Amino acid sequence: MTTKNQLPTIKRFISISILVLLLWNVQAQQSYFTQDYSYEVIPSFSEEEVKSRVASLNLCIPPKYDNIVKSYVNTYMVKDRDKARAIIGRTVQFFPIFEKYIAEKGLPKDLKYVSVLESALNPAAESRSKAVGLWQFMEATAKGYDLQVNSTVDERKDPHRATQAALRYLQRLHDRYGDWALALAAYNGGPGRVNRAIKRGRSKNFWSIQKYLPKETRNYIPAFFAAAYLINYYQDHAIAGDYPDLDMQLTDVVKVYRTLSFEEIAQIAGVPYPTIEALNPSYKKRIIPSSPRGNYLILPQRVMGTFMQYLKYPDSQAQATFASSSIQVQRHPNDYFYKTRYVVQQNDNIHTIASVFKCSSYNIRAWNGLGSDYLADGQELTIYQPFISTEYNSEFYPNTTTTKIINTTPTLPKPILRKYETVSIATLPLENIGEQKAKESVRSIYNLTSEKYLYYRMVKGESLTQVAAKFPGVNLEDILVLNDFPNKKQRLKPGSRIKIKPL
């Protein structure tokens, strides 16, 4: 029971508590208005729109939309957008390699999406079951496909060797089942599980035997559709790739046959040690061992000429081990590139332009904020090209552990402009593409493109009138004039990109 003597004390305590709460609330409000918050605008689409896009994907397995596909798409586009950004950023490194070997074997181009499922395009990925690399090989399976796994090298992490092995395995599985859905299921769960499911379901149709497979394998084909959706429609969901430095994007590969340390390569080529490490993750001890069949070495495109000259004319101390303490590269890797401008001409396509500029279509898409390979006549493209170094002089590359051989302020050579007239716009240090994400406080579909227009990608069965209705203040006539379309019945393929309005 509260006495009369206690009442003043209680009232005083309540008053002080209320005052503290009021002060705290004012401070919190001030903090709210002064604190720097970052927001991300995530576009929303109806399920019918997503379903239509999935149906329009041209894949080796006829696309099928269901709740599992819906869940995976939602994970990429909403729940785990950082992972999606990382995957898109890595496409510039690995998809050109995949497509090269896929084309050589005459296999479906969309098999590249398998690596998205297996490793999120991370060559260092390792599963709980000890599967490793871009294509997630178990050690026993890897050795069965001529991949070396020993104390010095793990070729499951080699983008070239592992890709060649994975494609041989996938081709073998397809030859066995005559169906890509079953081949991919067997790649994930093993032929034994697929064979048992075929026997139980008395069918060689994946969807008929799906319920007899383990959950992960059961969901593998829906996950494949979702991965394809991510790569083809990420920009529509306001996802920007987390792209690496230009030295990691524009690379060449060479086979070397003798022992070479990363320190030696770094000094010869003038490339930062971490770049060599990141490009060549399969070498456990930072040493490329000697091999009669040759080992792959990936280097930035700009220095491959210099390294090739060294291989032809090594100095007398070539077998010495270099010390990493002697390597000093003060300039940012992107300082060794210049930016050119190219205006798309009639009959151009992204692949021919990429071939001319010694890059890939994925590079051009990354540099220009493009969500697809579609280019419009008159569209201006930004292209990055390296200052190519091809001269090697052993007098300037001494094989010692004490001389600092990298000039910290080198004189950059005059850029060589190739076919297609280009204009050198800047030779100043370029912005690190990978830092763009950190600099953006607000990201939306409106600022993901370098052009000064809002673009839209057509959905299957959609008319221009329906598109115009989606954007306030835009009518059909605006779209026809802006895109130079002759009439409102203009037929456009699903995925075609059109201008909506100036930004």
Burial of 389 (0-12, 13-18, 19+ CB in 10 A): buried
Look up residue 405 and give its DSSP letter: -
CB under 8 Å to 399, separation ≥6 — which residues? 264, 315, 317, 318, 320, 322
Residue at token pair 């210049």:
338
Of the residues 48, 99, 118, 126, which is catalytic? Answer: 118
* Cα gap 496→79, rounded to integer Å: 27
CB under 8 Å to 48, separation ≥6 — which residues? none
Active site (annotated) includes residue 118: yes
Among 393, 396, 391, 394, which Cα is nearest to 407's? Answer: 396
DSSP secondary structure of 193-218: HHHHHHHHHT-S-HHHHGGGS-HHHH
Phi, psi of 440 (to 5 degrees): -85, 125
Among 203, 191, 219, 184, which Cα is nearest to 64's? Answer: 219
| Helix H or strand E encompassing 23 | helix 7-34
Strand partners, 499: 455
Residue at token pair 């032809």:
312
Q: What amino acid positions are annotated as catalytic residues?
A: 118
